[in-house]
Amino acid sequence: MENQVDIENDGGMIEEEKFDLERNFSTISESGSIRVPLLKSKSRVNNTSQIAIVGANVYPIESLDYDIVENDLFKQDWRSRKKVEIFQYIFLKWTLVLLIGLSTGLVGFFNNIGVENIAGFKLLLTSNLMLDGKYFQAFAAFAGCNVFFATCAAALCAFIAPAAAGSGIPEVKAYLNGIDAHSILAPSTLLVKIFGSILGVSAGFVVGKEGPMVHTGACIANLLGQGGSRKYHLTWKWLKYFKNDRDRRDLITCGAAAGVAAAFRAPVGGVLFALEEIASWWRSALLWRTFFTTAIVAMVLRSLIQFCRGGNCGLFGQGGLIMFDVNSGVSNYNTIDVLALIFIGVLGGLLGSLYNYLVDKVLRTYAVINERGPAFKILLVMSVSILTSCCSYGLPWFAGCIPCPVGLEEKCPTIGRSGNYKNFQCPAGHYNDLASLFLNTNDDAIRNLFSSNNSNEFHISTLLIFFAGVYCLGIITYGIAIPSGLFIPVILAGASYGRIFGRALGSLSNLNVGLFSLLGAASFLGGTMRMTVSICVILLELTNNLLMLPLVMLVLLISKTVADIFNKGVYDQIVKMKGLPFLEAHAEPFMRNLVAGDVCSGPLLSFSGVEKVGNIVHALKYTRHNGFPVIDEPPFSETPELCGLVLRSHLLVLLNGKKFTKQRVLSASNILSRFHAFDFAKPGSGKGLKFEDLVITEEEMEMYIDLHPITNTSPYTVVETMSLAKAAILFRQLGLRHLCVVPKKTGRAPIVGILTRHDFMHEHISNLYPHLVPHK
């Protein structure tokens, strides 16, 4: 990490860079020089929250430029656009949304086929060996397959794409909040996410593929929204319109919603999940596009599932996309049911908050192990795999054999990989209920728990053992170096204790055990995820039972309210633990005691409207700033005034073009004729122009360049006396990277400082005002 500590954020600067700048600029003449820093206090230097954990490695963090840069080049481009070009842009945007839906639907279907067939082969092999009485060989085959699949998944994550580990939902959530982290949406991450998720779920881990599908959908959207690739000669003229963070953000939001729709076959739930949990910024046009995307996903999945019903997809069963039909259950409920529901909601909140607490502790422990290198990551995955295999195969031996119910339509015991009645070691006509849960795919286990055909199918002791096993395994599994989701472990654990309540109430309740399982799953989801609307709709779309709407709503509200007393949602905790500088929708109470001018980082560097090339080169070389104020002075203006803000990336392109003048004069016309707005567009996942790529001679260093054509003349500004709470909400809702702070009174420099994302972080403010900021 030694080479990471000097990473700079958007506007602040660390101490070493500050002294280098003061030394280098102390001899620069007043004319055309960079002004004396306006903020000289060393305590104002922001050196917090500049690196974060992505995967298991530490990387620099920057912000995304969601704000439109309205400079002269941008205005010239918009004025020159014809109606046909505007139509092309709109048409292509809808086309990309369509492609995101199609691609995500196909990937979701491919994931399910992969899991069903790979896990199905493993379970069939184990079952056949057990039927022959070869119990030791059956365990060796079961555990050996699990370790092999787990090792392959871990190797992909450890060596190819560390950012693919985990669910990816916290990273996507952070990206849509404006945080640009290393490789979280790269093509390599996409490939490892797909194949690693298939192998990880097939390895029998208590994880789901739903969280990774959200990350997968976002990666697909990012790949399609790159705006072409010069490296591979994919630079179609129309694609240039998407070389900006704002359009990519919209497409990635659609991709995340498509991922949920593909994972749960819940198109409306996908839209609401993106709105409630993922996206930090929303508008009506985005609602239409996400809805269109998820509708396409649903159509693709429905068509492919119908194709597979004819036995054309190997061991792929009745969909495998966790469509749990509990519509057969009667939804009439009495007072006892409502009281039981309230208790389930409270229990879900308590268990969910404890689950989040333990997941946080385990993640911090695993981070220490994973930092030691790829070999330790793989060893950790193998250890958890062996433990999971021992539990899944060993615990059913403690369960007794149950006689098969009379009058069943399906075979009992079940012959094959799935079904409600696993034979395990039982004699003919009997089944092992605990094996029916552990020795199944996670989707089939949920389907068995939600089943209401036989209320006595699972003993209460069996459900208790399964709940304890899934609860603990889910905690210790999340955080290892494989793509893994939390939805399935949480649904499994919640459905287990929900069914226990249904069995305990018996004839006192009007609801069957399957519906109680659904309510238990809802309560645990509310206690861990802290979402209400989206989870409610997803569960209703999963189970095809709209009559349960009032009960699911109530249990989600109760569990979320109870859990919020103790800690935050699991994804919010992971974002914080990774060090991602996430901006919340609300401001902290202590921010109302401070004003914007109290936290501005310094020193502040600014340029003249026509600046000496050498000054710009020195500023780019010795700082990591991404935005610089441009101040016009006489003779270009009557008094010093803020012209706007210029971005580091735009300065690099301008310097590389070498449209310099020997005299300090305006030369905007030459620059406007030489450059096009798309020359300054942000590159995709490929690397853009860097400072090291510039070749500036000593003679050129003494020349001048006009910054007006690339200066954003309408940056967002706030007065220095605005409360920090109000500035924070404004910064977040507008999706800004820089917020200029201007003085309250005249007669001072036209800008006081620049607020960036890191200036609103708790760590930075607590360093400045420890007496005002409560300790976290």
Q: Give the pLDDT score at 56.
A: 66
Q: Give the pLDDT score at 199.
A: 96
3-state SS string for 571-584: HHHHHHHHCCCCCC
Give the model confidence (pLDDT) of 213-264 as tens digits: 999 999 999 988 886 555 555 666 667 778 888 999 999 999 999 999 999 8
627-632 and 607-608 beta bridge pairing: parallel
Give the model confidence (pLDDT) of 104-146 as tens digits: 999 999 998 899 889 988 988 998 898 888 999 999 999 999 9
Beta carbons of 204 and 172 less than 8 angstroms apart: no
Q: Give the burial class of 230: count Cβ atoms within 10 A of its Cβ; 0-12 exposed, 13-18 middle, 19 or more buried.
A: exposed
E strand or H helix that includes residue 551: helix 549-564
Q: Give the pLDDT score at 326.
A: 62
Dump the DSSP string for 213-254.
HHHHHHHHHHHHTS--BTTTTB--GGGGGG-SHHHHHHHHHH
Q: Give the pLDDT score at 272.
A: 96
Amino acid occupying residue 485? G
The residue ranges of the chain whose pLDDT is under 50 are: 1-9, 11-43, 319-322
Q: Please, what's the b/e burial string for 558-585 (b: 16 or more CB within 10 A of its CB; e: otherwise)?
A: bbbbbbbeebbbbbbbbbbbbbbbbbee
Give the list of residues 6+ apart from residue 585 with CB closer than 8 angstroms, or none: 280, 729, 732
Q: How far apart are CA 633 and CA 409, in angstroms?
A: 87
Beta carbons of 739 and 718 less than 8 angstroms apart: yes
- Nearest Cα to Cα of residue 476 among 664, 205, 701: 205
Beta carbons of 153 and 483 less than 8 angstroms apart: yes
CA distances to 154, 193, 377, 480 from 157, in Å: 5, 8, 9, 10
Give the list of residues 6+ apart from residue 367 with CB closer than 8 angstroms, or none: 53, 56, 479
733, two tokens:
């809702």
Q: How far apart are CA 534 and CA 92, in angstroms?
A: 29
The domains of the chain, with CATH numbers, are 335-410+429-578 (1.10.3080.10), 589-768 (3.10.580.10)
Q: Give the pLDDT score at 2.
A: 33
Give the list of residues 6+ apart from residue 646 with CB closer than 8 angstroms, or none: 607, 627, 628, 630, 707, 710, 711, 712
Give the model confidence (pLDDT) of 185-196 as tens digits: 988 999 999 999
Give the list of residues 6+ apart from residue 395 with CB closer than 8 angstroms, or none: 434, 438, 465, 469
Q: How far apart are CA 488 and CA 580, in angstroms?
A: 25
Helix (H, G, I), strand (E, B) or coil at 364: helix
- Nearest Cα to Cα of residue 239 among 249, 251, 225, 252: 225
Q: Give the pLDDT score at 417.
A: 59
Q: Within 643-697, where are the H helices?
A: 648-657, 668-674
> Using omega within 30 degrees of 0 as the cis cutoff, is the peptide bond preceding 709 cis?
no
The total of other beta-carbon atoms located within 10 Å of residue 40's CB is: 12
Helix (H, G, I), strand (E, B) or coil at 713: coil
Q: How far apart are CA 128 and CA 137, in angstroms?
A: 10
Q: Please, what's the b/e burial string for 640-655 (b: 16 or more CB within 10 A of its CB; e: otherwise)?
A: bebbbbbbbbbbbbbb
Q: Give the pLDDT score at 320.
A: 45
**Residues present in the chain in total:** 776
Q: What is the pTM of this model?
A: 0.90
Dihedral sign computed on CA atoms, order 258, 263, 267, 270? negative
185, two tokens:
């949406």
Q: How far apart are CA 630 and CA 317, in angstroms?
A: 64
Q: Give the pLDDT score at 227.
A: 66
